[in-house]
Amino acid sequence: MSKGAILEWRKARGGSTLGEMRCGGTTFRWGKRTYVMGIVNVSPDSFSGDGLSSVEAAVEQAKRFVAEGADIIDVGGESTRPGSMPIPVEEELRRVIPVVERLAQELKVPLSVDTYKFEVARRALDAGAQMINDIWGLKVDPRLARLAAEKRVPIVLMSNQRDRPRRYIVPAVISDLKRSIDVALDAGVPWENIIIDPGIGFGKTLEQNLELVWRLDELKVLGRPILLGTSRKSMIGLVLDLPPEERLEGTAASVAIGIAKGADMVRVHDVRQMVRVCRMSDAIVRAGQKKRG
């Protein structure tokens, strides 16, 4: 679709501005600053090497992230690294639900559940989670949209090309996300409760991932806030020839450029450092925007 056609679609479907989003007791005011999502992996085979095997360790890490400035905590129980195998729903529930239950009682910031499985999302929301983060953008289970609508929680829709690699990545991602947004809206999810994610590292080549970060601002045509997840990704490892635990500086560079290109939220493993990167990047970017305005 042309840019003009997408703008007409956006006008017809929901909104001309990003507006605000309510998640739990927090209001996200898009465009004011960049928000930070802290990653809590309770999958022992996490690609980044930060997988946690106990509830206590997960709770301790989440509390530390909040103290370091995280605005939201994302809890995931299944590794999404390339080549990883799906785990049974029962195992994912065993890993995720006790952590969500504890964090819902002990944290003031909202919780997101990183899953594409309906039953895991449903149980996590019942346990206290307040956002769904779907790496398949409703392609695996569209029922997640109805669940988000019924529970009145925001949903992150990610563009994932692992099922169908694409040659021209930016138009493919925009088209993919538009379809996901339509599914969500048709299920009753309010326009303001949708966040989009280009899906760095999911079925894309190194060149395509780099291009997506550089052209991130083109996703603004869809009219929804953008979540960017580059933290410790293989894109950084391939460029710098470094293992996940040594990709801090590469992550910082991609976060800073992503913010300059329009990211509204970043999903990160190293919260303390990335909060500082966000604050500095925001100071420059927002000052520039005010000057132009």
Q: Which of 122, 178, 233, 247 is catalytic?
A: 233
233 is catalytic: yes
What's the number of CA atoms in the CB half-sphere (13 Å) around residue 77? 23
What is the tens place of the pLDDT at every residue in 76-130?
999 877 777 889 999 999 999 999 999 999 999 999 999 999 999 999 999 999 9
What is the tens place of the pLDDT at every residue in 14-25?
776 788 999 999
For residue 45, the model assigns a pLDDT of 62
Q: Is it the case that residue 161 has pLDDT exceeding 70?
A: yes
Cα end-to-end distance, the chain, whole Å: 29
Q: Is it the case that residue 293 has pLDDT exceeding 70?
A: no
Task: Tell which CATH classification among 3.20.20.20, 3.20.20.70, 3.50.50.60, 3.40.50.720 matches the domain 3-12+20-292.
Answer: 3.20.20.20
Query: Residue 51's pLDDT band (boundaries 50, 70, 90)?
Result: low
The whole-angstrom separation of Cα 79 and Cα 261 is 28
Q: Are 125 and 153 in contact (CB under 8 A)?
A: yes
Domain boundaries, the chain: 3-12+20-292
Q: For the chain, what is the mean pLDDT?
A: 93
Query: Residue 13's pLDDT band (boundaries 50, 70, 90)?
Result: confident
Q: Is it the case that residue 46 has pLDDT exceeding 60?
A: no
Higher-confidence residue of 18 and 48: namely 18
279: nearest Cα among 251, 259, 261, 253 = 259
Q: Is it the case that residue 34 has pLDDT exceeding 80?
A: yes
What is the tens place of the pLDDT at every residue in 207-234?
999 999 999 999 999 999 999 999 999 9
* Residues pairing with 114 in the sheet: 76, 133
Query: Residue 194's pLDDT band (boundaries 50, 70, 90)?
Result: very high
What is the tens place of the pLDDT at every residue in 249-285?
999 999 999 999 999 999 999 999 999 999 999 999 9
32 is catalytic: no
User: Residue 276: enclosing H or E segment and its boundaries?
Assistant: helix 271-292
Q: Is it the case that residue 47 has pLDDT exceeding 60?
A: no
Range in 10-14, 31-35, 145-149 the model is least confident about: 10-14
Q: What is the mean pLDDT of residues 140-145?
A: 98
Query: What is the rounded (10 degree) CA torsion for 288, 290, 291, 293?
Result: 120
Q: Which of 117, 123, 247, 267 is catalytic?
A: 267
Higher-confidence residue of 3 and 129: namely 129
